[in-house]
Homo-oligomer: A and B are copies of this chain.
């Protein structure tokens, strides 16, 4: 247990500072109203925060990021910003035979500290990350290719929200069982049977977080903090193209753990050599008992099948669908969809891919619109949104890796191009690959087209799929979710009957549904404390951010009972 005498951060100080935040988070995951303690606006961080954050980021470049971890056998790096510059940061490469035992040795004291103390330390880590949001924003921007504002918001406050949400779920789950209980069973005329019982939440072991390229913090913080708050040590294996945001996270976590009197080896980094495939090796180590993963379906399926000693939480690929049946706000619908398809160049796991549109057309407040008109108008809306290069760059960000660019370029060969991609000159990074989305027309009744639209085409590629009817669209939606999975489903309709059909399809196939979004909320965005990210019930993901199932199996409850 942390001893107040040696720790710089005492348990009481941490409770004073963070318990109200935890309580508000606990209340919000119950009401699911809007709330966040992490400001979205860059200016909220103080007058000098922007300049200091950028300077802090620049100061990291070309240096070693030392973490003082045991078992460092090499220094590795090689990140190149999707905007062009090399980052030049080097990270410790682990000798797992030294590092993992050190992490295990750190766990008993962390377990003994109990759920509240662990939550408080997690909140202190999040709070220090929050204070450095500008610095993290640059790190996220120059690894993911997100535009600065998105890197700031999604990589900063929104990611921190997801981390805090996971801590709240983890805390609540652990305190459902009391620390102690007196049990007295009546025995008629004889004395009752009396037992004194103690219950302790014990960790599974070392948790492995396998980070992704596009959202290293947003997709990583739920698993990281859920595992840490439930008593596990966490080994962070970032995507080799997006190490820096998670390496900074590990650095902050180690600093706070040490100050609070715990062993900093409760959180460690595992950076890898080019082509090493370190995730695969680590995932099969017997010490690893929890794995969080975001990435390809192939590796996610491999983890689920092979890392049998671990609880495996995966977010994999999916095919997101929007059913377009009818609308009473045609312009709003087009604007909303155009934004959804463009944001971060469609490189979100939640971006719509297939827009299912009846070939007979749809009814709208602007009159009947044929299939061709809808597609043309949507293409126009995207062009309008991205007409100005500076604005386009600020919305699109950069293409994250060559594979996305290859898919984008191949898309034109799949069908009739309703909207071609164009290269956008980035005002700040002239060499950056910034590309507007492509929209391809496909026919839902043609097998060749189906082969195209029923595969995930990650990146700025959408398919306007002509279907025979809305009923046909709902049937295709069901089949898509069941066979390919979906992180999101959208629908536009003015018909209560169609609404009911789409809702029933989503309830039965287990997908999260957004209906008739025409304003400033987009199908690809979910908010922590209120929205679930993924359902965990279709092939796109085996878990949801965040719910009881995401935290409950990360620890076990051990009971010690004595005759009283």
- A residues 91-111 touching B (CB-CB < 8 Å): 108, 111
CB of A512 closer than 8 Å to a CB of B: yes
Q: Which residue of B lies closest to A182 (CB)?
A: B33
Q: Which residue of B lies closest to A107 (CB)?
A: B508
0 or 1 for each of A119-156: is its CB under 8 Å from B? (1 = yes)? 00000000000000000000000000000000000000
CB of A544 closer than 8 Å to a CB of B: yes
CB of A49 closer than 8 Å to a CB of B: no
Residue of B187, B513, B516 touching A558 (CB-CB under 8 A): B513
In angstroms, how far is the closest chain B Cβ from the Cβ of A145?
Answer: 26
- A residues 499-537 touching B (CB-CB < 8 Å): 503-504, 506-508, 510-521, 527, 530-532, 535-537
* A521 close to B193 (CB less than 8 A): yes
* A531 close to B508 (CB less than 8 A): no
* A197 close to B32 (CB less than 8 A): yes
CB of A552 closer than 8 Å to a CB of B: yes
> A197-B530, A516-B563, A521-B195 known; A202 and B34 CB under 8 Å?
no
Q: Which residue of B lies closest to A532 (CB)?
A: B559
* B506 close to A558 (CB less than 8 A): yes
* A544 close to B556 (CB less than 8 A): yes
* A183 close to B556 (CB less than 8 A): no
* A32 close to B183 (CB less than 8 A): yes
0 or 1 for each of A145-174: is its CB under 8 Å from B? (1 = yes)? 000000000000000000000000000110
In angstroms, how far is the closest chain B Cβ from the Cβ of A76?
Answer: 33
Q: Which residue of B lies closest to A531 (CB)?
A: B559
CB of A403 closer than 8 Å to a CB of B: no
Residue of B34, B185, B513 touching A34 (CB-CB under 8 A): B185
In angstroms, how far is the closest chain B Cβ from the Cβ of A321?
Answer: 15
In angstroms, how far is the closest chain B Cβ from the Cβ of A28?
Answer: 10
Residue of B31, B513, B536 touching A559 (CB-CB under 8 A): B513
What chain B residues lie within 8 Å of A199 (beta carbons)?
A: 32
Q: Which residue of B lies closest to A187 (CB)?
A: B520
* A513 close to B193 (CB less than 8 A): no
- A residues 161-210 touching B (CB-CB < 8 Å): 172-173, 176-178, 181-187, 193, 195, 197, 199-200, 202, 204
In angstroms, how far is the closest chain B Cβ from the Cβ of A540?
Answer: 12
* A530 close to B181 (CB less than 8 A): yes
What chain B residues lie within 8 Å of A177 (beta carbons)?
A: 32, 547
CB of A298 closer than 8 Å to a CB of B: no
* A561 close to B515 (CB less than 8 A): yes
CB of A560 closer than 8 Å to a CB of B: yes
* B176 close to A510 (CB less than 8 A): no
In angstroms, how far is the closest chain B Cβ from the Cβ of A88?
Answer: 38
> A507-B200, A531-B561, A562-B516 known; A30 and B178 CB under 8 Å?
yes
> A183-B530, A552-B548 known; A517 and B558 CB under 8 Å?
no
CB of A304 closer than 8 Å to a CB of B: yes
Residue of B185, B187, B197, B202 touching A507 (CB-CB under 8 A): B202
* A108 close to B508 (CB less than 8 A): yes
A514 to B517, CA, bound (A): 57
* B558 close to A511 (CB less than 8 A): yes
> A33-B183, A510-B202 known; A176 and B548 CB under 8 Å?
yes
CB of A410 closer than 8 Å to a CB of B: no
CB of A451 closer than 8 Å to a CB of B: no
What chain B residues lie within 8 Å of A31 (beta carbons)?
A: 178, 181
What chain B residues lie within 8 Å of A519 (beta carbons)?
A: 193, 563
A536 to B559, CA, bound (A): 12
A248 to B193, CA, bound (A): 33
In angstroms, how far is the closest chain B Cβ from the Cβ of A513?
Answer: 5
* B513 close to A560 (CB less than 8 A): yes
A111 to B504, CA, bound (A): 11
What chain B residues lie within 8 Å of A59 (beta carbons)?
A: none
A510 to B201, CA, bound (A): 10
* A561 close to B514 (CB less than 8 A): yes
Q: 11 new A-B pairs (CB below 8 Å) besides A33-B184, A532-B559?
A: A31-B178, A33-B181, A108-B508, A183-B530, A193-B519, A193-B521, A305-B308, A515-B561, A516-B563, A521-B561, A532-B557
Nearest 6 A/B pairs, CB to CB: A537-B556, A549-B552, A32-B181, A548-B552, A549-B553, A515-B562
